[in-house]
A and B are shown apart, each in its own frame.
Chain A
Amino acid sequence: MQKEIMQSYLPQDAVAEIFDDAAVFEVPSAEIKHVVEELCVRHGAEFKLMTATDERAEHDCFKIWYVFGVPGEHFFLVPFIRLQDTEIFPSIASMVGRAMDDERRIKTFFGLTPLEHPDLRPIILHEHWPEDVFPLRKDCNWKTRPRMESGEYVFQKVEGEGIYEIPVGPIHAGIIEPGHFRFSMAGEHIMLLEPRLGYVHKGSEKLFEVLPLEEKITLAEKISGDSSFGHSLAFCQALESLSDTHPSERALSLRVVYAELERLANHFGDLGAIMMDTGYSFGGAHGARMRERMMQINERLTGSRFLRGVNAVGGVCKDVNDTEVKALLAELQEISEDFSEVIAVTEESVSLLNRLKGAGVISLKIAQQEGLVGVAAKAVGIARDTRLDYPYAAYRDWALADIATETSGDVYARFRVRIKEAHASIRIIQAVLDQLPKGAIHPKNKKVTFKKNALSVSAVEGWRGEIVYVVKTNEKGTISRVVPRDPSCVNWAALKHAGYDNVIPDFPLINKSFNLSYSGNDM
């Protein structure tokens, strides 16, 4: 049935290979623009990501993969093109805004050039990296140190009377991740903001190709530390799909519990941090306190404050016993009341609301153009949530009542979305724990073997937004490419629009209301 629906989305003469919920089909290089347009415009498919693989050893070609999702039908469409004897491919950046940075990544890491791309400056890798060394090509040995180069990065420039620039970072006064921001200012107003990232690039994508399986999962947990569980879940789901492993009902339910616990901890922390940045110390202190409480619950349940080491291929490694279920249910009730009380007080503070409202507005148009995801997208009224659009784990049974959205698109909207999501998370955990299925949580001693020449797409709604993993195996059935996509990669591109025409003292607050991961973007 699903296969037939999938078929209806494909171009007429395309022959698709179907892997679980992903249909992979080849498109001639010259037709890819047309196919992308068909998918986006006619079928309303969502662009997820695009990436490349180096298959010169096996098939004597590079391949460029385009991953689309069809939210209503819960499946993914993956057209790809083959680059034989050429290192140039047609750019789709003019049609799909989100593909802009993905194509720059392909250019930087594979050395394949998107034709007619407006901005071909290297991304992530800085000037000291030689421009002719492409780390994700298979013939680039990850253990070699390339020669040191030098050069100058050219920032975008605003001309005009009284325009001056403020360089901020990469080292900041607070304890946060490194990133450089270049502001072009007219008085106190931001005319242009250009973030420059890449300071925490760790070569994760390359590492995924060489590390043993267990360490790959650990690596996924460290793509962005605050979304450890979301990342390991997305990665494990992709591996399960590739190896035809089906976790038990209990494991699927527990994954929902852990995922929502992670969301709660981070939303509490963010709400506190937003208030702290306005100087409203009451809210800041309580946010930090409630986040810490969640972290301690995480540690009690799994031995890890960040829920690391919990996910494995085929299930989860940490069970929750009946006494713990009772204790957790009681504690969640308490947390829910506590949270409502704190929020009731903060919503009375005129000075706080005045700072939050109207700051850092993103319009619906820009959000759609940049393909915003997660909390930031919900704050402009885009009702997209992977838990509903592409249900995974036990979300198939425990669907959300509705997606928490706001319409104003300012800091306050993002603040409100987090509050609503936190309440919803508590309800979901309670509902799941109430009817936790019995059984094993992990198949013991099962050897994992992967399908050959297969591809799997897995999406998870992390607390920040949609986390996507694309995993590919080669002819021997070993993992040849892993593409993690943290929501930060997408939303960083949209942040500059949120800064425009705000006063610069408000920028830290706007940035905090997105709270994007530098590590998740730089990988």
Chain B
Amino acid sequence: MSIALWTIQILLTPLVSPLCVGVIRKLKATWQNRQGASVFQPYRDLWKLMHKDEVMSRDASWIFRVAPVMVFAVTMVVGASIPLFASFLENSLTGDLLMVVYALAIGTFFLALAGMDTGSAFGGFGSSREMTVSALAEGGLIFSLLTVALISGTTNLFTMVNVATIPSGQHVLSALLALCGFVIVLLAETSRFPFDNPATHLELTMIHEAMILEYSGKKLALMEWASANKLFLFMALSVNLFFPIGLAQQATVGAIGLGMIIFLIKVAVFCFVIAFIESSMAKYRFFRLPDLLFIAFILNVVAISLIR
């Protein structure tokens, strides 16, 4: 039973994440009066890319070749380290919040290195921008997770959602502030509006896309898949930490089934929120982004200071 559950937990992230991307794109298309591609299009894209030839720069080093695997592997590890549909599972090895934050940082690190590796100007400024944004986002990310940790008295994410403090009405204000901070960081880390435009074709404005501009074929597929995974993981973290309702408490088929359905609904709602943000506003100017990330940080500091 336990092996089966962990298999589901590990496979859930890569299986569902392209669907989230597809749903967001479909919603955005609908709000632009367009028909849009099917929600399953990201799967087809991955399939297509997996069967394509690769072109690689002569100047590319081992970093360029290894980075996609690293970035993808990191998202798989983090996928196993955070509560998705069940809270009774235990992971004391990688389930700690600092572990998760810095595992993700390893992914960002390799992504940025890969961007610079071929020496293309686009990759270079993509990496530079990514590091600027993620360095500023780190504080907000840790402090928002820390707020929940302080409320629940543990830093293990699985235990955190088990304590289920927020629905019980304690520290609601702190939790809400931390949620706001977390969502801002989420948008920055997953390259969404108002930080980055995942749909743009304008090389000069890109952050994430600029770093993976040199990739093609299977490596591009891994990169795309990894960024979809990251989006899914951040959404899972925010819905489960701040709304830990409906998570399976025991290992019965019924509870797990219900937990899975509720979890997917929560994620779907979050996709709706992201699509709504992206449809209703313009991207920010690059030099306004630090302000936004500082706001996230300050919100979380206030949240922590309000506890007790």
Contact = CB atoms under 8 A, between A and B. Distances in A.
Contact of A174 (B28, B201, B279, B283): B201
Given A188-B287, A285-B33, A351-B194, A507 B204 contact: yes
Given A173-B201, A508-B202, A280 B282 contact: yes
A210 interface: no
Interface stretch (A160-168, A224-232, A467-475): A160-168
A279 B32 CA distance: 12
29 contacts: A166-B125, A166-B204, A168-B121, A173-B201, A188-B125, A188-B286, A188-B287, A279-B193, A279-B281, A279-B282, A280-B281, A280-B282, A281-B31, A284-B32, A285-B32, A285-B33, A285-B34, A289-B33, A351-B283, A352-B281, A354-B284, A354-B288, A355-B284, A355-B285, A503-B287, A505-B286, A508-B202, A508-B204, A508-B205
For the complex of A and B, 8 pairs with smallest distance between CB atoms? A285-B32, A279-B283, A174-B201, A278-B282, A280-B282, A508-B202, A166-B121, A351-B281
A277 B33 CA distance: 18
Nearest to B287: A503
A167 to B, nearest CB: 6
Contacts of A349: 280-282
Contacts of A164: 121
A164 B119 CA distance: 12
Interface in B51-91: none
Nearest to B285: A355
Given A351-B194, A504-B125, A168 B282 contact: no
A168 B125 CA distance: 13
Contacts of B194: 279, 351
B278 A281 contact: yes
A172 interface: yes
Interface centre among B32, B280, B281, B282 (most CB of A within 10 A): B282
B32 A281 contact: yes
Contacts of B156: none
B204 A279 contact: no
Given A173-B203, A278-B283, A284-B32, 19 more contacts: A164-B121, A167-B121, A168-B121, A188-B125, A188-B287, A277-B202, A279-B193, A279-B200, A279-B281, A281-B28, A281-B279, A282-B32, A282-B280, A285-B32, A286-B33, A351-B282, A354-B282, A355-B283, A508-B202
A506 interface: yes
Size class of the B contact interface (CB-based, 8 Å): 20 to 34
Nearest to A503: B286
A489 interface: no
A275 interface: yes
Interface in B172-226: 193-194, 197, 200-205
A167 B125 CA distance: 12
Interface in B239-297: 278-288
A352 B283 CA distance: 8
A352 B282 contact: yes
A272 to B, nearest CB: 11
Interface centre among A166, A188, A279, A289 (most CB of B within 10 A): A279
B101 to A, nearest CB: 27
Nearest to A277: B202
Contacts of B200: 279
Contacts of B205: 277, 505, 508
Contacts of A352: 281-282
B205 to A, nearest CB: 4
Nearest to A356: B282
Interface in A280-321: 280-282, 284-286, 289
Contacts of A508: 202, 204-205
A503 B285 contact: yes
Contact of A504 (B193, B204, B280): B204
Nearest to A502: B285
Contacts of B284: 351, 354-355
A285 to B, nearest CB: 4
A317 B280 CA distance: 45
